[in-house]
Amino acid sequence: MKAEDLFDLTGRVAIVTGAAGGLGLSMAEVLAANGATVSLFDFDEDGLRQSVERLRDQGLDVEGRLVDVADTDRLAAEIDAVAETYGRLDIAIANAGMSAGPGFTVPEGRMQAVDMNRWQRVIDVNLTATFVTIRAAAAHMIPRREGRIIAVSSIAGLMAEPLCGYAYAATKASVVNLVRQSAMELAQHNVLVTGIAPGPFRTNIGGGRINDPEVERMFRAGVPLDRIAHVDEMKGLVLLLASPASSFMTGVTIPIDGGATAD
């Protein structure tokens, strides 16, 4: 089998949450560039419109849907609508997420300072919406006995990360086990569930804190490759997990972190 056949997504229909920018947009772009029809979900109306236009200008088959993933009824309904519109749903990427603020390296990130309203919002976006995305997508994949679901965790879900807030670390660790649990149930239906655990990427999550020179220095100190990743460096792993090339992979969360979790 040729490489182009292993990674060909022609005819596939995909959704990507949190796709108006950053990692989500990069993921949507690589899926569409390899033949998929992709629906971008996000609550940022202007960002979503601009991203859809950018991808369409490349000749890619994409659409945008305005969704706040914390509204789980709306999230599930929009996933159903994509499947109804295109007659199938092959790939779902639960990427939408939010920062919990800084970690305990600064006073406002220590446990006594955690705001419980923000704690709950982070759980709603990072964990509950991920579960609902998996559940709603699986409902359309099970009858066809085929599908790929990818959930985005973080290296903060695999190890202690003092630079990340408590709620972020807790939800991303939960996503890792959610991948395992759902993969076990859905394996009998040939629906594969995998996770991605990014290290530091240059995105706007957390208000773009990583662009602060001192914050960047602290993140780089934990990365053997000694740099912050560009969002396009996510594309290869996403394409692998969404494509026929990963047909015997399920239940695993893969770090993409410049070696941060190596020791």
In a domain, 263, yes or no: no
Catalytic residue among 166, 168, 201, 219: 168
| Position 241 confidence tier, pLDDT thresholds 50, 70, 90 | very high
Residue 143 has pLDDT above 80, yes or no: yes
For the sheet containing 13-17, what is the strand order?
62-66, 37-42, 13-17, 91-94, 147-152, 191-198, 253-256
Backbone phi, psi, residue 158, to 5°: -110, -20
Give the pLDDT confidence score for residue 207 in this predicted structure.
62
| Position 174 confidence tier, pLDDT thresholds 50, 70, 90 | very high
Residue 142 has pLDDT above 90, yes or no: yes
Rg (CA), the chain: 18
Residue 20 has pLDDT above 90, yes or no: yes
User: Is the CB of residue 110 less than 8 Å from the CB of residue 53?
Assistant: no
Provide mean pLDDT across the span 185-210: 90
- Per the annotation, the verdict on 168 as an active-site residue is yes
What is the CB neighbour count within 10 angstroms for residue 135?
14
CA dist 102 and 152 (Å) reads: 20
User: Is the CB of residue 14 less than 8 Å from the CB of residue 93?
Assistant: yes
Cα dihedral sign, 75-80-86-88? positive
Average pLDDT, the chain: 95
Query: Tens of pLDDT along 84-132?
Result: 999 999 999 999 999 888 898 899 999 999 999 999 999 999 999 999 9
Comparing CA positions, the residue from 229, 217, 90 lying closest to residue 155 is 229
In a domain, 103, yes or no: yes
Domain that holds residue 127: 10-254
Give the pLDDT confidence score for residue 206 in this predicted structure.
59
In a domain, 2, yes or no: no
| Position 18 confidence tier, pLDDT thresholds 50, 70, 90 | very high
In a domain, 223, yes or no: yes
At 72, which amino acid appears?
Answer: T
Query: Tens of pLDDT along 21-43?
Result: 999 999 999 999 999 999 999 99
| Position 209 confidence tier, pLDDT thresholds 50, 70, 90 | confident
In a domain, 188, yes or no: yes
CATH code at 109?
A: 3.40.50.720
Q: Quote the number of domains for the chain.
A: 1
SS3 state at 151: strand
In a domain, 262, yes or no: no
Give the pLDDT confidence score for residue 60 in this predicted structure.
99
In a domain, 259, yes or no: no
SS3 state at 142: helix
In a domain, 227, yes or no: yes
CA dist 111 and 54 (Å) reads: 41
